[in-house]
Structures are given as structure tokens and as C-alpha cells.
Structure 1
Amino acid sequence: MSFSGFTHTDFDVFKIEGLESRMDALITHIRPKLEDLGKHFAPMLTVETGDEIYPHVAKHARRTVNPPKDTWVAFASNSRGYKMLPHFQIGLWDTHVFIWFALIYEAPNKEDFGKKLEKNLGYIYKQIPTNFVWSGDHMKPSAKAHGEMTEEELQSLFIRLQQVKKAEILCGLHIPRNEAIEMTSESFLEKAESVFKTLLPLYKLY
């Protein structure tokens, strides 16, 4: 089975009330597509990064009450997990698809990575496309467009990564729900590959 693209049904999963009902719909409608994306992009990212990359589809296994508000497949260089490592993600909230490079709060070398980001601030500021977005918290759907940020604002994100235990850094592209639904599976795969390749310099800084 190959990735078939996203539909209104996929995004509407996050409107379903109750943990069990939402998880059932997520497993039925979204998870197979995330698994397909995992199989598609892991080999490509292995070639591009030079590391053996493994896909990790979110299981939401620890949840007992609150249903998930988003879901994803992550790509990292460890077959057992991704949260401790720099990684890539494709996932969705009810409003948009996200295609990220991410280093989240569980990674042990955030301070060193933050220093490397700050050292390369000028290069990063010039190279990231204006329609890409930055976030400091993977639990929130909002993010700020690169084209709306000053170099100083970006630097403050990098400094925060060095100084704040819970700090995170995410950079990538948000594709609004309606735009994602209108994309063919081929155009989505091409877009995601382009985003990943644009984000590779961040991964390689780690």
C-alpha cells in the first residue's frame, strides 16, 4: 500500500469526543497513512543524512483520559525511539499538516546544539525559506513564520534552547488543512521531500 493523500475524514478525527472513539478512528484512518509515509521516507532520509533512519509512528500509548490532539510519524537514527535525538516528523492537527525538523525537551545535548545554532545564526537566517515556521513547543499547534522573524528573535530561540530545561526547537512547514486535502499524493510526497532536504543542514549541525 502506498500513501494516498490526506482527506477531510483524517482531520475530522480530532473532533471525535472520547479517547477510545478518537483512537479507533485515528488507527483506522490516519495511522496507515503515517506508516506508508514512514516506509517511503526512511530510505530517502537514510541516504540524505548518512545515518540509518527508522520511522516511528505515534502510538499515544500512555494516554488514559485525554484523546490526542495531533499525531505523527517521526524519523530518527535509532530503531527504539526518537525523542532523545534530532528527528524529522510528518503529522497533523485538525487545522494543518506539519513537516518538521525537531529537537525536543528530552534530548540530552540541547545546550550544545543551541550553541551551534547560535554560532550559525546568520547562515540559518538567510537559508530558511520565508514560508517556513519556527516553534519552541511541539505540544502547541501555533508557530511563527520565518519571514516574520528578525534575526534577534531567532537568536533568542537558540539561546532559550541552551538555558531552559523544557525548551525545544522545531523548524519546518505548515500546510493548511484545505491545501493538504487538495494535494495529490505525489505532490505531497514531493513537497515533504523538498522540506526535508531544506532542513538537512539543521540536522547535520547536531
Structure 2
Amino acid sequence: MFTKKSFEVFEVAGLTPRMAAIRSIIQPDFAQLGNKLLTELSVNFPTENFYLHIAKHLRRTTNPPENTWCALSTKPRGYKMEAHFQLGIWQDYVFLYLSIIDQPKNQQRYAERLADPSLRDIVPKDFVLSKDHTKAEFFPLTDWSAAVERLGKVKKAEFELGRVWPAERFEDQSSEVIFSEMMATLNQLMPIYQQLMEV
């Protein structure tokens, strides 16, 4: 599970040193946690095959990554082409999101499905929204309607939904407590994921 050292990785200067720290400190947690989440998805969607993708940041040549993540999807060669799950870490928090990013082919149909009030009604009140996976900011659920409308109208719009855990939680709370919250989050996102997979 993530520790104080995980968040300190983003203080490491330079692309090569930071990537080395990400690989040695963070990615082993992605492998462990990601595979547990993968198992849970497979149990709940027995007719689907799920794959774990750990971000490698291969396209970066100068600037070190400000965050990193792993993704779970039904596509063996990638994840951005469909709604998927992401477990990731910024310098200040960890997140677990149901993610629609980088213009998947069903983006407009996803927006139409997310506009259904019955979906919004089942979302836990402590969930948050992210509208851009490249920025370390998230928004309250009161932004739901505007974010969904933008997803349907703006090609580069993004929509991520889930829960965040502040960095300080990982200093004073047991891994078991936080992991149980992650599993609960995944299960709370599944009904919405199911709806998106049917579009």
C-alpha cells in the first residue's frame, strides 16, 4: 500500500530519477492493488476479461510525470478507447475513478447514459468528479450535470468519477482500512460502469 515515500516520489527532480522512483516505489503497489481490483471485477463481470495496464510514461522526454496510475479495462492493448477504472496517485492524494478520457468512440453515448438522473442518484455523496486527467483538481458532485453536458458536446471533454484519499490518510491509517474503502468504491462504481458498457 502507498506510504509517505510514495508521495515523496513527486519531489524527485528530473525525468530519469523520478521514473526510477516510480518504478521502484509506486508500481509494485499498482501491481498488487491492481490485481486485487482486477479479481473483484472478474467476479462481478464473469463474461468479461479484464486487463491491468500500468502507465509507463514512454512518450515523456523532458518533464517528469506529476502523477502516475494504473488502469483496468477489457482491452488487452490499451484502456483509453473505452470507459475504464483508474487507480492513481498525485503528490497530494490517491484516487480511484471510473474514467472517460481521450475521446473514446462512445463518448457521446456515455454522456447520454450519464444524463439519466437514476444514475446520479446512486452515487455516494463523498464521490468527486475530475474533468481533466492531466490536472490535480477535482470537483463536487454538484458539477455533475454541467460535466456530463460538456462530455456530450465537447470532443476533448473528460469525465472521471470516484473517491480520493488525501496523502495524510496513508500516514495514520492502516492499509486494510484504506483498501476496504477502495474495494467499496469499486463496487459502488460498478452499476454505473455496467450501464456504460451497454451503450
Matches within 5 A, 1:185-204: 185-204=175-194
* Cα pair 1:49 1:200 within 8 Å, conserved: no
Partner of 1:175: 165
Q: In structure 2, which of residues 12, 16, 19 is the aligned counterpart of residue 23 of structure 1?
A: 19
2:140 maps to which residue? 145
Residue 73 (structure 1) aligned to one of 70, 75, 89: 70
Q: How far apart are 1:49 and its partner, in Å?
A: 3.2
Q: TM-score, normalised by structure 1?
A: 0.90
What is the TM-score of this pair, normalised by structure 2?
A: 0.93
Which of 49, 57, 60 is matched with 2:57 structurally? 60
The aligned amino acid for 2:12 is I
* Structure 1 unaligned regions, length at least 5: none
Say which SS state the counterpart of residue 39 (structure 2) adopts: helix
The alpha carbon displacement at 1:88 in A equals 0.7
* 1:9-61 Cα shifts (integer Å, max 9, x gaps): 11000011110110111111111111111221111111223421111111111
Q: Distance in 1 between matches of 2:127 and 2:73?
A: 21
Contact 1:137 1:168 in 2 (8 A): yes
Shift in Å at residue 186 of structure 1? 1.9
Q: Are 1:49 and 2:39 an aligned pair?
A: no
- Per-residue deviation, 1:105: 2.1
Overall identity of the aligned pairs, in %: 34
SS at match of 1:79: coil
Question: Pairwise mapping of residues 110-149 of structure 1 onto structure 2 (< 5 A)?
Answer: 110-118=107-115, 120=116, 122-146=117-141, 149=142
Output the CA distance in 1 between the equivalents of 2:182 and 2:26: 17
Q: Cα distance, 1:130 vs. partner?
A: 1.5
Q: How far apart are 1:75 and its partner, in Å?
A: 0.4
- The residue type equivalent to 1:32 in the other structure is P
Structure 2: runs of 5 or more not aligned: none
Please tell me the root mean square deviation across aligned C-alpha atoms, in Å.
1.2
How many residue pairs get aligned? The number is 195
CA offsets 1:94-115 (integer angstroms, 9 cap, x no match): 0000011101123111001101
Aligned equivalents of 1:13, 1:58: Cα separation in 2: 15
Offset at residue 124 of structure 1 (A): 2.6
Tell me how far 1:125 sits from its aligned partner: 2.8
Aligned partner letter, 1:116: R
